[in-house]
Amino acid sequence: MNYSGWNTVITGGSSGIGLALARLLTQEGANVCILARDPGKLNRALEELENQRQNQTQKLAASSVDAADADRVEGLIRDLVESNGAPDLVVNCAGDVEVGYAYQLTPADYQRNMNNNYLSSVNVTRAVLPSMSAKESGHIVYISSVLGRVGAIGYSAYGPSKAALDLFAAAIRMEVKPCGIQIAIVYPSDTDTPQYAYESAHLPAEIKYLKTIFASHLNTPEEVARAILQGVARKRKIIIPDTDGKIMDFLVRILGRGAANVLEFLLNIGYRRKIGSKGETACQSVDGD
C-alpha cells in the first residue's frame, strides 16, 4: 500500500511504537499528526519528522493532549478534520502500565490504566468516526496485549484495561463495517519502549523468573511499526508482529480459557522457586510477615 498523501493520526506518537510509526509514515509521504501528553517529547519528535519530510506539501503536526480528556480530544480532532480532511489512518498507541501485586497498586493506578489504555482509544475513536463514516473509508488500529486475553500475576490493573479495549474494538468493527472502515487490533510481544523499561523494573518475582526461562526476542518499535503498516495494507483484523505472539494467539484460540490454566501452571513454578529462595510473596507481604 502506498501511504503517500494519507491523513494519519497517531496517539502516543512521541515515543516507542507510535514514534516509529510516525517515522515510517513520514518517509512514505503521509501527512502525520502525532498526539501525546509531554510537550517536550512532542517537539523533539516533530523536529525529527520534519527532517524526514519527503515534500513541501506534506503536513506534519504535533499536539499536546491527554487522550483521556474526551472534550479536548473532540475539539482537537474537529480542528484537524477542518484543516486536513478526514483521517485515513488512526493508530491508538497511547497507553500506560502499572505492575505489581494488587495490594501494592492504588485505586489511582487502576484508574490510570483504564483511562490511558481504554478510554483514550474510546475518545479518539468517537471523535474520528463521523468524518470517516461520511467518507466511507478509513482504518483504525488499536494496540492491545495478550495480557488482555489471559490474566497474569502483577497485571490486575493493566490486563483488564486491555480486555476492555479488545471488546470495544470488536463492537466498533460491527458498527462501522457498512461504512467501509477497517478495524485492526495489534498484539505485540515485549517491545523495547519506555513503557517496557518501566514495566521491567516493577515486575513481580514470578514473572521475572519465567522470563529467565522463556527468554524471547525483544521487538524493536520499528519491527512492530512495519508489521502494523503491512497488516493495514492487507486489511488484517488481527495483527501479530512476532513469533511469540503468534504462539500465544494459537494457544488462546485452541485452548480458550484453558490457556489461563497453562499460564497459571507456569507462574506457579516461579512462585514455588521464589518461596524456595525465601523471597517475598504476595500473601506474606499482605500479612506483614
Task: Respond yes or no: is residue 162 known to be catalytic.
Answer: yes
Nearest to 136 by CA among 177, 85, 173: 177
Integer Cα distance of 141 and 169 in angstroms: 9
Cα–Cα nearest to 52, from 20, 29, 81: 29
**Cα separation, 139 vs 133, whole angstroms:** 11
- Residue in the structure block whose three cell numbers are 478534520: 81
- Residue 240's nearest CA partner among 186, 169, 182, 162 is 186
Cβ contact 166:145 at 8 Å: no
Identify the active-site residue in 131, 144, 145, 189: 144
Asked whether the beta carbons of 140 and 239 are under 8 A apart, the reply is no
| Active-site residue, from 63, 121, 161, 162 | 162
Catalytic residue among 3, 155, 158, 209: 158
CA 157, 258, 285: angle at the middle one, nearest 5?
A: 40
Active site residue 41: no
User: Could you tell me the sign of the dihedral formed by the alpha carbons of 28, 29, 33, 38, in that order?
Assistant: positive
Task: Say whether 158 is catalytic.
Answer: yes
- CA–CA gap between residue 4 and residue 229 (Å, rounded): 13
Active site residues: 144, 158, 162
